[in-house]
Structure 1
Amino acid sequence: MKTRKRFIAGAQCPECSTTDSLRWWEVNNIEWVECVSCDFKEQRTPAVKPDQLQEQEMIGIFKPE
């Protein structure tokens, strides 16, 4: 299966400061970001998605009147 890489609009590379040169993709639940202008590459674990959150205590319910 081919991995789809997407450019991040307006993002600036932390290494070379080039705008619109970062692309993002995910493989095996690991996020990758790389710059196409320099050799910058970063690996991150994705943020917890809402459906993966554990049950939390409810503080209250907002009812606008």
Structure 2
Amino acid sequence: MEQFEQICLATNIHYLDIFAPLQKSQTWLQEVADYDGAHPRAAGYQEIANLVQNWSGWQSWLT
């Protein structure tokens, strides 16, 4: 993940690490476990949406 962040920084592209927070989210982990082991259901995708919605990179893009 660190390499993606470095590439984005070098090319002036906003980067949001969703991996670290999702690995701590019981909702995400349970949704993935209950489905196919890789993809969540609606509540898991809502976790991603919340991360993006509250991300400063997204907010700056909208303004």
**How does the TM-score come out when normalised to structure 1?**
0.23
Bigger Rg over Cα = 1
Structure with greater helix percent: 2
Relative contact order higher in (CA < 8 Å, ≥ 6 apart): 2
**How does the TM-score come out when normalised to structure 2?**
0.24
Structure with greater strand percent: 1
